[in-house]
Chains A and B, each alone.
Chain A
Amino acid sequence: MNVSRRHLLKAAALGSASLAAPHIVGRAFAAEPIKVGALYSQTGNLAVAEKLLANGVSMAVAEINATGGVLGRPVEVVVEDGASDPKTFSEKASKLIVKDKIMTVFGCHTSASRKAVLPIFEKRGAMLFYQTHYEGFECSRNVIYSGAVPNHQLGNYIPWIVKTLGKKKFFIVGSNYIYPREMAKVSKKLIEAAGAQWVADEYLELGHSEWAVMVKKIKESAADVVLSNVVGDSIIAFYREFKNQGISQADIPICATVTSEIEIAAMGADYAAGSYTSFPYFMSLDMPGNKSFIERFRKFVNDPKQVTYHSLEAAYFQVFLWKQAVEKSKDLGAEGIRTGIAGQSYEAPGGKVTIDADNLHCWLTPRIGQWQADGQSKVVDAYPHPIKPLPYFAYGETESNLFCTSKGLDTAKLKI
């Protein structure tokens, strides 16, 4: 009798515990969510590229929530539309920071939009995570730059083109705005240092799609390689015209810094086969995490043919770096992120990445890919390990002589 009563009590206790258990779990997730912003163009002509980046951020947040959130709290993404317009970007950044009181925003794609929101982040003490490879020449303490800078994309690329491909005469071509112009500036120094020469440095308007004359000039310039900093849908018209004027990639290869899996898929792989691009990440990378990343992303955007590319990968992994940073410093503010994220590493789909303690940019592995007939790249040259980001590479910054440090930009060193 006694025993059975005890047994009954035990069973009752167990029962109530198991009833209570879901309640406790529910409570843990009912903890107030941490809000973060995702500020990308959902409409307008840049929506093509930026929507995917917003999806990359959202997928990372969903995965973080599925494994317990950040500091035991779920993460909620507040999505705002920058509408492909820098002015709208700055208004929406103010809205996220001032009205929603959000301290962390993942966002911006073009340099124009980043420059437009930068003063707001610096004045209000918030933190921007920016994933796109850019031209450098910036040293903000309120931005974590997870994409490549010129020394990642060009530092190994130009010497490799000269030495391994044996090219001596560069035709530099780009869209007419800051990124291609800065990239051309770095390239010229590297070309001369490598003992080669550049025969032209030409620009076309953003979005220009009439390449007949430019390609004719390339043909007649005696250049043996083209360095392309062309962006956006101009890329497609360029590669198509290149082939249509009968130039073979085997004779004059296009070596690009912007052309990614996205543009290759849109132009048709035939047009790009044999050309090169320099990026830290390619969809074709044979890494343990990459295959799963591609599969998960395709499922997430509900498109079995979706391609992945450098900026998307960076948009995704930067969220995990943020998580590690705030969990380390237990502080959701910009100062907490800044101290927590210095030296923080993450095993991204394309290999190990680390946020630099000096300049808040990202250590990435430079890789050169040659585009194949199936629209994927074959990595033909790569660093064995990630290298330090140098945002002022174009102005003579080296690893032993930093311009951008944790104290900010050393203007005395910067000679323009």
Chain B
Amino acid sequence: MIDVFFIGLSLSSILLLVALGLAITYGAMGVINMAHGEIVMAGAYVAVLSGIWLKTSFYVALPLAFLAAAALGWIIERLVVSRLYGRLLDTLLATWGVSMLIQQAIRLEFGLTFLGIHIAGLGSGLQNVAVPPELQGVVNIAGLELNAYRGFIVLVTVVLTALTWFIMYRTSLGMKVRAIIRNPKMAAACGIDVRKVNALTFAYGSGLAGVAGVMMSGFKGVSPDLGSSMVVDGFMVVVTGGLGSLIGTIMASGLLGETNALVAVATNDILARAVIFAAVILVIVLKPEGLFSFKRR
């Protein structure tokens, strides 16, 4: 039973890892960022390329991917998203376009394939990320055999969640972000530089996605469409948890992950997926604002 719980915990962590960044950009800023999955993918490619170019280990890729993805997010916010605040559907379409651009850019090696130049690590093929030996196989904790890599995913997720909580609830920047979530116009009237805070928030959410990408790279293969399926899972968690609520996102990913594991063990993975979707639909119908939302003022 404990191993099923552990599998559920690792599923929840993967969901939360992707959803954390989304909870901030979608929940806090009202932007449906369809390019979030591609930022995850870009993070995975940072892991691939840092291995090839810098010959550094998997661990070094974590901060590198955070910085690279944050920079990418910042550029997207400044160029596209900042012009579309308050227009939910337009952000959806625009960021969807951005996601296709990023994906094709990786496939075409930034267009260099047309010139016959090949960048090892980019391109359409499946890429390899070397996982450190200590993260392969199992670790023994109190007589329990646990999957080392999944344990590491859980650990990274806990650290990032704690960091996000700290920034949101214990720093002045976080207070400004929360003020903007509740009421952007009032926040601006109080002298908060909404433009700057939005750009920083978007960059931070993207940075989290970059770290998620590195974690996924050691878990499944890296290819240009790594992220496109993950963005759906991320939105499911955010919608279930409730917009703008960090605790809601955490609880929702825990709920969906554990449900998935339990149903999959009892029946099979395909049915588990169907049950998850049914649960999300049920939440949307019965509690459209999500399980853990607050009232907007």
Q: List residues of chain A with CB under 8 Å of any chain B CB.
A: 43, 45, 47-48, 51-52, 176, 202-205, 207-210, 212-214, 216-217, 233-237, 240-241, 243-246, 262-263, 265-268, 270-271, 301-303, 305
Contacts and interface: CB of A to CB of B under 8 A. Distances in A.
A203 B273 CA distance: 13
A243 B147 CA distance: 9
B136 A270 contact: yes
A325 B4 CA distance: 59
Interface of A is mostly: helix
Interface of B: 3-4, 7, 10-11, 14, 104, 107, 116, 118, 120, 124-131, 136-138, 145, 147-150, 218-223, 225, 229, 261, 264-265, 268-270, 272-273
Contacts of A244: 136-138, 147-150
B136 A214 contact: no
A374 B116 CA distance: 29
B265 A216 contact: yes
B265 A236 contact: no
Best-buried of A204, A213, A243 by chain B (most CB within 10 Å): A213
A213 B261 contact: yes
A207 B221 contact: no
Best-buried of B125, B129, B150, B218 by chain A (most CB within 10 Å): B125
Contacts of B148: 244
B266 to A, nearest CB: 10
29 contacts: A48-B124, A48-B125, A48-B223, A207-B229, A208-B269, A209-B219, A210-B11, A210-B14, A210-B269, A212-B7, A212-B10, A213-B261, A214-B269, A233-B221, A236-B126, A237-B219, A237-B220, A237-B221, A240-B149, A240-B219, A243-B136, A244-B137, A246-B147, A266-B125, A267-B221, A268-B129, A271-B136, A302-B118, A305-B120
A51 B217 CA distance: 23
A217 to B, nearest CB: 8
A204 B11 contact: no
Contacts of A214: 269
A52 B125 CA distance: 9
B265 A266 contact: no
Contacts of A243: 136-137
Contacts of B107: 43, 47
B214 to A, nearest CB: 15
B217 to A, nearest CB: 10
4 closest Cβ contacts across the A-B interface?
Answer: A266-B126, A236-B221, A246-B138, A209-B220
A258 to B, nearest CB: 13
A270 B150 CA distance: 18
Contact of B270 (A176, A207, A240, A266): A176
Contacts of B229: 207
B220 A240 contact: yes
A305 B123 CA distance: 13
Given A212-B150, A213-B269, A303 B126 contact: no
A347 B14 CA distance: 49
B127 A266 contact: yes
B257 to A, nearest CB: 10
Given A51-B124, A210-B14, 10 more contacts: A47-B124, A48-B125, A202-B268, A209-B220, A213-B272, A236-B126, A243-B137, A268-B131, A271-B136, A301-B118
